[in-house]
């Protein structure tokens, strides 16, 4: 797994958590992806694991996930249509099969919207952050 979600109540807690995570990454040679890294207030909203969140919790499937889904359908159509051995129905079936796999994934995540937002989650305090042994702290 390579996705992290760190929630903090204060800016100080956030800075401490980010510092600790960056030390961990540096020690083990990992890098943050610049397009996939967000550090900011929950009120601004954020995407995580293909879904969009704000201070109330889960909102919807993320716009990026929806766009990726449409791009995949376009690619399937273009690639399949270019094959003379496939009929229109076979092309349509390939696209429908992909959508029939994607849509249940999207719905499965949205079923948890009825759950409470972030207010009941555990927030780590700076003194709770443990730096694994062997990682330089400065």
Taking the whole predicted model, whether its pTM rises above 0.75 is answered as no
Instruction: Confirm if 60 and 110 have CB atoms less than 8 A apart.
Output: yes
d(CA 39, CA 119): 18
**46-55: pLDDT as tens digits:** 888 888 888 8
| pLDDT at residue 84, as a whole number | 87
Q: Please say if the pLDDT value at position 13 is more than 60.
A: yes
**75-120: pLDDT as tens digits:** 888 888 888 898 888 888 888 898 889 888 888 888 766 555 555 4
| pLDDT at residue 65, as a whole number | 92
């Amino acid at each position: 797994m390579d996705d992290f979600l760190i929630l903090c109540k204060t800016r100080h807690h956030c800075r401490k958590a980010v510092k600790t995570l960056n030390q961990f990454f540096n020690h083990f040679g990992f890098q943050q992806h610049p397009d996939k890294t967000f550090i900011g207030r929950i009120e601004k909203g954020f995407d995580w694991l293909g879904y969009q969140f704000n201070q109330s919790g889960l909102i919807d499937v993320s716009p990026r996930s929806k766009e990726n889904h449409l791009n995949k359908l376009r690619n399937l159509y273009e690639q399949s249509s270019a094959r003379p051995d496939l009929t229109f129905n076979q092309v349509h079936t390939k696209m429908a099969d992909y959508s029939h796999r994607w849509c249940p994934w999207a719905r499965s995540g949205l079923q948890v919207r009825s759950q409470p937002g972030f207010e009941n989650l555990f927030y780590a305090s700076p003194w709770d952050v443990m730096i694994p042994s062997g990682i330089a702290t400065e």
